[in-house]
Amino acid sequence: MEALKNAFDFSDQPRLDLTIAGALALFLLIFPLLPVSAFALATMIQFFIFSLYGMGWNTIGGYGGQVDLGKAQYVGIGAYTTAVLLIRWDIPFWFSMPIGVLLAVSWSFIIGYPLFRLSGHYFAIATIATSLVLKDLFEVWDFVGAARGLEISPIAYQPPDYLRLIFKEDIYYYYVLFAFFLVGILYLNWFRKSRLGFQLRAIKDNEDVARSLGINVHWAKIKTYAIATGYVSVVGSFHACYIKAIEPEDTMSLDISILIALMAMLGGAGSLWGPIIGAGILIPLKSYLKEWLGGMAGLAGMDLILYAVIIMLISAKEPRGVWGIVERWRRRKRS
């Protein structure tokens, strides 16, 4: 009960922030009802997807300071579990999603146990490696369609199929994802104030001191990594039903892992709103940039250059991202 109360308790946030957040939530609620293009709606769905990825990343990467560049492998596990179960045994989304979480979290324990013996850059590199290995495995594994991937045929079902999450119009997906988005925020709000959240912030600051306060550093990291994995896997499952055609390249590529970390860092790692802000900036930018540059073949790599510039700016100017700037400004105003 106390946990539930804490999840809904935003009282430590400044009133201004809550007003803005409330207004934005209202806007997101009515957004699909406004006369917006299909492209805008699809972009907004991508915003939700990456916000949730970012929230998950934020637990271990932001609050815990463990830079994880392998989140895509859990997108893959979630997506493939849902797709395989649906195609082969007609198991609907709401059942396959928890199974996917279970598999992803199990996998996260298996690789988290050795990986968290490493620290700093070595940890980051190792997460990239495990993700790439898993992707390569899926590319040669016939059971999951190898490099061709899997396709969920919409003709086989009668949309709107709420149980299997097969819809024709994006608006359905939008609202399902919006619900996930709100739950994701509530969970993160609980997490940051929970014992584990506090322990993780202490670990990020100084592991020796954390140990002296009775914290099992290794285990706290593994647990949080599992939470992050849960977030990503749920969205991965959703992704399978939404995109309906998944292959290793577009669910598990390094780009996705980096994009997840990048958005959370741009918005502000280790803050409640950071990942949402990051996704809110980068996703529309990425979408529209691609649209505009689509015709110009010579400028195809522009978005990558943009990411590189953002990474450099964050690391040089404000490691805590946009939210770090806001916080710094507030502190200065207070003193």
Partner 1 sequence: MALLAVENLVKDFGGLRANDDISFTLEKGELLGLIGPNGAGKTTLFNCIAGKHPVTAGRIVFDDEDITALKAPEVARRGLARTFQVYAAAGDLTVRENVMVGCFMRTASRRKARERADAILEDLNLTAAAPQYVSELPVAAQKQVTMATALGTRPKLLLLDEVAAGLNPGEIEEIMASIRHIHHDLGVTVILIEHVMELVMRTSDRVIVIDSGRKIAEGLPDEVARDPQVIKAYLGDRYVQEAGGGEAHP
Q: Which residues lie near partner 1 (CB under 8 A)?
A: 2, 6, 193-195, 198-199, 201-202, 204-206, 208-217, 270, 331, 335
Sequence-distant (6+) residues with CB within 8 A of 160 are 166, 167, 168, 172
- Cβ nearer to partner 1, comparing 90 with 205: 205
Residue ranges with strand state E in the chain:
150-151, 245-246
- Cβ nearer to partner 1, comparing 121 with 195: 195
- Cβ nearer to partner 1, comparing 203 with 276: 203
Q: How far is the CB of 280 from partner 1 (least distance, A)?
A: 24
Q: How far is the CB of 196 from partner 1 (least distance, A)?
A: 9
- Cβ nearer to partner 1, comparing 95 with 198: 198
Q: How far is the CB of 189 from partner 1 (least distance, A)?
A: 12
State the Cα–Cα distance between residues 178 and 195, nearest whole angstrom: 28
Q: How far is the CB of 10 from partner 1 (least distance, A)?
A: 14
State the Cα–Cα distance between residues 164 and 158, nearest whole angstrom: 10
Q: How far is the CB of 206 from partner 1 (least distance, A)?
A: 6
State the Cα–Cα distance between residues 333 and 335, nearest whole angstrom: 6
C-alpha distances in Å from residue 175, one per residue of 35, 36, 80, 167, 260: 16, 15, 23, 12, 22
Q: Do 176 and 183 meet the contact criterion of CB atoms below 8 Å apart? A: no
SS3 of 254, please? helix
Q: Give ∠ CA 55-209-4 in degrees, rounded to 5.
A: 40
Q: How far is the CB of 315 from partner 1 (least distance, A)?
A: 18
State the Cα–Cα distance between residues 150 and 137, nearest whole angstrom: 15
Residue ranges with strand state E in 53-156:
150-151
- Cβ nearer to partner 1, comparing 2 with 142: 2
Length of the chain equals 335
Structure tokens at 317: 């100017």
- Cβ nearer to partner 1, comparing 211 with 244: 211
Q: How far is the CB of 201 from partner 1 (least distance, A)?
A: 6
Q: How far is CA 43 from the centre of its chain?
A: 15
- Cβ nearer to partner 1, comparing 152 with 203: 203
- Cβ nearer to partner 1, comparing 209 with 308: 209
Q: How far is the CB of 209 from partner 1 (least distance, A)?
A: 6
Structure tokens at 183: 């739950």
Buried b (16+ CB within 10 A) or exposed e, 99-128: bbbebbbebbeebbeebbeeeeeebbebbb
Pick the closest to residue 232 from 97, 113, 43, 62 (CA basis).
97
- Cβ nearer to partner 1, comparing 81 with 199: 199
Q: How far is the CB of 92 from partner 1 (least distance, A)?
A: 35
Q: Do 76 and 252 meet the contact criterion of CB atoms below 8 Å apart? A: yes
